[in-house]
A and B are shown apart, each in its own frame.
Chain A
Amino acid sequence: MSITIQHISKSFKDVVALKDVSFEVKEGELFGLIGPDGAGKTTLFRILTTLLIANEGTATVAGFDVINDYKSIRNSVGYMPGKFSLYQDLTIEENLIFFATIFGTTIEKNYDLIKDIYIQIEPFKNRRAGKLSGGMKQKLALCCALIHKPKVLFLDEPTTGVDPVSRKEFWDMLKRLQKKGITILVSTPYMDEAELCDRIAFIQDGKILEIDTPEAIVKHYPKPMYNIRSNNMYQLINSLKAYEHQHSVYPFGEFVHYTDNRLDFNPKELMLYLESKNLSEISIQITQPTIEDTFMELAK
């Protein structure tokens, strides 16, 4: 096991950030921690990277205990905080050399690991980090987190505030790193990124709701899911929410994801109801629930 977390709890004064959290991450796994802002993701990262001490419970990273062997952990993990935290007034190259030096290594020694990423920002290596675009900052931060060949990589919301193209590139990079045997624990508020992980854990209000593979987790969804569309989206949502048998109504792109709380639900009945509300061009089709739907259902 690369990361084991057992009954970790942490509270700040009267705010409970984590409540009895336990899970394990296998070696070489790309594990996603999915949850809204304030769910406790960053707190958990800070405990695992030895920046914070939990009130209760134990955790190990790369086989080392987070409290007793914190020094060994610091040698073998890479951490990329959610906020860009490199020296804005140093250049790309200087930042990288700085982190290599304090890890007691050099860029050359581990160049093969960061090569794919570094090549993309190398043309700007004499530019100060503060002057880089969001995507480039992200790549630089990843390079700095990888420069000492960590066994475990912690990425706290690495793609928040990054454009869709750079986000996709970033996840491709993570997949490649995973192939090199690095265990990656990544947190994200984006549900679409969850599908790219080997396994995901839903976290909300400091509690783990569910842990499984993205494919399996949607099967936990208890009800059949319907895609509904019509000529007037706003009125459709309002009408569905007013419908007495509705279980959940969430807008999803051009559709509304709808579940009913009856076991013998007949779409035709709903169709008649919607037509009575002066909606036209109505279509109701059964569909697969997404990770987002599952999360919303579990978080209810």
Chain B
Amino acid sequence: MKTILYIIQKEFKQIFRNKGMLPIIFVLPIIQLVILSNAATFEVQHIKFGYIDHDHTSTSRALVERFNASTYFDVLTDFPSEALANSAMLKGDVDVIVEIPHYFERDLQKEKRTNVGVTINAIDGAAAGVENVYLTQIVQRFNQQVKVNLLQASDLQVQPIQIETIPLFWYNETLNYKTFMVPGILVLLVTMITLFLSGMNIVREKEIGTLEQINVTPIKKSQFIIGKLFPFWVIGMGLLTIGLILARVVFNVPMVGSLVLMYFYTSIYILVVLGIGLFISNFTETQQQAMFIAWFFMVIFILMSGLFTPIESMPKWAQLLTEFNPIKYFVEVMRMVMLKGSSFMDILPQLLKTLLYAVVMNGLAVWSYKKTT
């Protein structure tokens, strides 16, 4: 026990003496949390909008006015021809072009139907999708208005049958993306820092040769590993604390659930990450190699965690793969507990899987750590 305590003490001393490492551990995550949470938004605003009005009637102008009134669209130009509009899109001056055909008003009134041509720049597929939704909403609302006007004029007996949906967004009533992103990004930071630090730590001892010296001593594998990894467990919990304070103070993210539960889950989760880190360092010779491998896993874990893209929209095989992604569980649990106030029983499946993962990973790591080569 005394040995473990001394190793822990030594590790902390080394961490705090490493002037290059301290800011990486404590300052960068905070900056990242603040910047990423503000920047990683799914909303698309200031869409550069252009239109070609062949009709030049009050109805077509009313439609353009709808776009002008929207906060999402910046109405830029009235293009005289399709060719000019297309070349403007090629140059990147407009993102969305709406083409209003000849006899737009006349067709609407006489035939009760007409078409509007829409072109969207889909280089960024996600943004194009969002733009399409905004645009459709505006056109639909315009459509209803027109319908009502036309009906009043012609036939009062036929009432329009409309089903209106009024959605309620539970657990995040204003659909504030920060409420949704902050817990997720916090998860990333805790994972990234603890994985990189633990992955590089034992490799570092290999690199500077101290590991060889230590291997000749009677120190037990378990003592050494616990002594080496415990400080990073503490740092991970510290990061969680800093992140939660920032989430509450800066982003005003609601914390509905129990803090104790969050800490309890995180304490187990970090064990998984440390196990992976140790496992990586057992199979690498230099800090560089360890860094690259850790980075490789990190990217896959992040992209398949459901943080940026919903897991439900992934193909079946990818969904299966995410079962092995610890970050996925952590993101789920954080969102569930923070936003929904889930209880211990609600997160039990995630908790058990994480616990199993921790046992397996650390078992593998300890098994593959050898004092003799």
Q: A101-B2, A101-B6, A102-B6 are in contact. Are A89 and B216 (CB under 8 A)?
A: no
Q: Does A103 lie at the interface of the complex (its beta carbon under 8 Å from any beta carbon of B)?
A: yes
The 8 A CB mask of B207-223 against A (1 = contact, 0 = none) is: 01110111111110000
Q: Are A89 and B18 in contact (CB under 8 A)?
A: yes
The 8 A CB mask of B184-217 against A (1 = contact, 0 = none) is: 0000000000000000000000001110111111
Question: Taking the nearest CB of chain B, how far is it from the CB of A68, in angstroms?
Answer: 13
Q: A74-B217, A101-B6 are in contact. Are A83 and B209 (CB under 8 A)?
A: yes
Q: Does A88 lie at the interface of the complex (its beta carbon under 8 Å from any beta carbon of B)?
A: yes
Q: A85-B209, A87-B10, A90-B14 are in contact. Are A102 and B372 (CB under 8 A)?
A: no
Q: Are A98 and B6 in contact (CB under 8 A)?
A: yes
Q: Are A87 and B14 in contact (CB under 8 A)?
A: yes
Interchain CB contact (< 8 A) of A98 among B10, B17, B215: B10
Q: Are B6 and A51 in contact (CB under 8 A)?
A: no
| Residues of chain B lying within 8 A (CB to CB) of residue A52 | 372-373
Q: Does B7 lie at the interface of the complex (its beta carbon under 8 Å from any beta carbon of A)?
A: yes
Interchain CB contact (< 8 A) of B212 among A85, A89, A98, A99: A85
Q: Does B91 lie at the interface of the complex (its beta carbon under 8 Å from any beta carbon of A)?
A: no
- In the bound complex, CA of A53 to CA of B371 (Å): 11
Interchain CB contact (< 8 A) of A51 among B13, B17, B372: B372
Q: Are A104 and B3 in contact (CB under 8 A)?
A: yes
Q: Are A84 and B209 in contact (CB under 8 A)?
A: yes
- Which A54-100 residues have a C-beta within 8 angstroms of B? 70-71, 74-75, 77, 79, 81, 83-90, 94, 97-99
Q: Does A49 lie at the interface of the complex (its beta carbon under 8 Å from any beta carbon of B)?
A: yes
Q: Are A50 and B10 in contact (CB under 8 A)?
A: no
Q: Are B14 and A71 in contact (CB under 8 A)?
A: no
Residue of B whose beta carbon sits closest to that of A52: B373
| Residues of chain B lying within 8 A (CB to CB) of residue A77 | 216
- In the bound complex, CA of A84 to CA of B207 (Å): 11
Residue of B whose beta carbon sits closest to that of A53: B372
| Residues of chain B lying within 8 A (CB to CB) of residue A70 | 372
Q: Is the interface of B mostly helix, strand, loop or mixed?
A: helix
Q: Which of A77, A81, A101 has the most CB of B within 10 A?
A: A101
- In the bound complex, CA of A102 to CA of B219 (Å): 6
Q: Count the B residues whose beta carbon is within 8 Å of the partner chain — how many?
A: 23
Interchain CB contact (< 8 A) of B216 among A79, A83, A88, A101: A79
Q: Which of A71, A90, A102 has the most CB of B within 10 A?
A: A102
The 8 A CB mask of A98-113 against B (1 = contact, 0 = none) is: 1101111000000000
Q: Are A81 and B212 in contact (CB under 8 A)?
A: yes
Q: Are B217 and A102 in contact (CB under 8 A)?
A: yes
| Residues of chain A lying within 8 A (CB to CB) of residue B13 | 89-90, 94
| Residues of chain B lying within 8 A (CB to CB) of residue A81 | 209, 212-213
| Residues of chain B lying within 8 A (CB to CB) of residue A101 | 2-3, 6
Residue of B whose beta carbon sits closest to that of A100: B6
- In the bound complex, CA of A104 to CA of B220 (Å): 12
- In the bound complex, CA of A83 to CA of B2 (Å): 29
| Residues of chain B lying within 8 A (CB to CB) of residue A103 | 217-218
Q: Are A87 and B210 in contact (CB under 8 A)?
A: yes
| Residues of chain A lying within 8 A (CB to CB) of residue B212 | 51, 81, 85
Question: Taking the nearest CB of chain A, how far is it from the CB of B177, in angstroms?
Answer: 43
- In the bound complex, CA of A146 to CA of B373 (Å): 24
Q: Which of B14, B208, B213 has the most CB of A within 10 A?
A: B213
Question: Taking the nearest CB of chain B, how far is it from the CB of A138, in angstroms?
Answer: 14
| Residues of chain A lying within 8 A (CB to CB) of residue B6 | 97-98, 101-102
- Which B51-75 residues have a C-beta within 8 angstroms of A? none
Question: Taking the nearest CB of chain A, how far is it from the CB of B100, in angstroms?
Answer: 71
Q: Are B219 and A50 in contact (CB under 8 A)?
A: no
Question: Taking the nearest CB of chain A, how far is it from the CB of B256, in angstroms?
Answer: 44
- In the bound complex, CA of A278 to CA of B12 (Å): 72
| Residues of chain B lying within 8 A (CB to CB) of residue A85 | 208-210, 212-213
Beyond the given A79-B216, A81-B209, could you list 8 further A-B residue pairs with CB under 8 A, ordered by the A residue number?
A70-B372, A81-B212, A86-B210, A99-B213, A99-B217, A101-B3, A102-B3, A102-B218
Residues of B at the A interface (CB closer than 8 Å) are 2-3, 6-7, 10, 13-14, 17-18, 208-210, 212-219, 371-373
Query: Could you list 7 examples of A-B contacts with CB < 8 Å?
Result: A50-B216, A50-B371, A51-B215, A51-B373, A75-B218, A90-B13, A99-B213
Give me the 9 closest cross-chain CB pairs, A-B, nearest first: A85-B209, A101-B6, A79-B216, A74-B218, A102-B219, A75-B218, A83-B209, A85-B213, A89-B17
